[in-house]
């Protein structure tokens, strides 16, 4: 009889599934607004959530693979570039690209034709580094820097110094992203992780509710 799955793995699966559902809900909720206005800022904003949701799908599959290995000796995990490395690559790629798209949503007026190519290329290079070295520190630091730049550009490049409802929503998103960068990527467990996961889900739900008010 296979051993009963570890509770931590079950929690990871549930957390990844909940976050994906909320990300996809935000993506769907903003669909009508984009189709009516064709606003490029809205396009990149909603697609960033779709990409972030996909990174959680990869996290879900990675956790499921590890769970299957431990419980049923299925999908053997190896130290070479195997199935787990593919999931790590895709997870890093989608999460990095999501941050670039969030930055694009703030700077869409200043984007050139090469911006998307640069974003995809940078995300791919960082993800290869993460997959082959299994070291995520550099990737996380670069993602964090891009995220800080995105936050600064949103707060100071919109022509108004007032803390508007839109800016508050963006701040919630940036804070959520920053916390989840250190949750979604594989790494050592720490005591606050469950608390941060619950807080992340709550913040994402708040973002969904605020976006819902915009799209009424």
| Separation CA 211–CA 203 (nearest Å) | 12
Is the predicted pLDDT of residue 186 greater than 60, yes or no? no
More confident residue, 157 or 200: 200
Sign of the Cα pseudo-torsion (34, 37, 43, 45, in order) = negative
| Separation CA 169–CA 189 (nearest Å) | 29
Is the predicted pLDDT of residue 6 greater than 60, yes or no? no
Question: Domain residues for 199?
Answer: 7-214
Q: In the chain, which residue ranges form alpha helices assigned H by DSSP?
A: 7-29, 31-37, 40-72, 83-106, 115-133, 137-156, 165-184, 193-214
Cβ pair 108, 44 in contact under 8 A: yes
DSSP assignments along 67-110, one per residue: HHHHHH--S---SSSSHHHHHHHHHHHHHHHHHHHHHHHHSGGG
Please check whether residue 2 lies inside any domain of the structure.
no
Distances (CA, A) of 117 to 100, 105, 120, 140, 141: 11, 16, 5, 21, 21
Per the structure, the count of domains in the chain is 1
Q: What is the pLDDT of residue 69?
A: 55
Please check whether residue 159 lies inside any domain of the structure.
yes
Residue 215: phi and psi, rounded to 5, are: -95, 5
Q: What distance, in Å, lies between the first and last C-alpha atoms of the chain?
A: 53
What's the whole-number mean pLDDT along residues 115-144? 81
Summarised one tens digit per residue, pLDDT across range 8-67 is 667 777 888 888 999 999 999 998 888 888 888 889 989 999 998 998 888 778 777 766
Please check whether residue 104 lies inside any domain of the structure.
yes
pLDDT band at 216 (very low <50, low <70, confident <90, very high): low
Please check whether residue 94 lies inside any domain of the structure.
yes
Residue 177, domain CATH: 1.20.1070
More confident residue, 172 or 155: 172
Distances (CA, A) of 22 to 67, 104, 112, 201, 209: 24, 21, 31, 8, 10
> Which of the residue ranges 144-148, 169-173, 181-185, 200-204 has the most confident prediction, judged by mean pLDDT?
200-204
Q: Specify the pTM.
A: 0.80
| Separation CA 54–CA 23 (nearest Å) | 9
Please check whether residue 1 lies inside any domain of the structure.
no
Residues 6+ apart with CB under 8 A from 156: none
Residues 6+ apart with CB under 8 A from 115: 104
């Amino acid at each position: 009889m296979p051993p009963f799955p570890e509770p931590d793995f079950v929690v990871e699966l549930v957390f990844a599934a909940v976050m994906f559902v909320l990300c996809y809900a935000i993506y769907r909720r903003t669909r009508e607004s984009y189709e009516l206005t064709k606003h490029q800022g809205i396009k990149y904003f909603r697609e960033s959530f779709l990409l972030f949701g996909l990174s959680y799908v990869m996290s879900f599959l990675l956790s499921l693979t590890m769970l299957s290995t431990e419980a049923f000796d299925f999908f053997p995990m190896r130290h070479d570039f195997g199935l787990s490395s593919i999931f790590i690559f895709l997870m890093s790629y989608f999460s990095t690209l999501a941050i670039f798209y969030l930055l694009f949503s703030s700077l869409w007026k200043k984007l050139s034709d090469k911006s998307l190519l640069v974003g995809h290329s940078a995300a791919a290079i960082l993800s290869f580094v993460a997959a082959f070295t299994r070291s995520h520190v550099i990737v996380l630091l670069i993602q964090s820097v891009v995220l800080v730049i995105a936050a600064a550009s949103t707060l100071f490049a919109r022509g108004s110094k007032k803390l508007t409802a839109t800016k508050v929503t963006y701040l919630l998103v940036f804070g959520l992203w920053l916390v989840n960068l250190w949750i979604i990527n594989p790494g050592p467990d720490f005591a606050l992780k469950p608390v941060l996961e619950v807080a992340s889900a709550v913040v994402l739900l708040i973002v969904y509710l605020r976006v819902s008010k915009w799209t009424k």
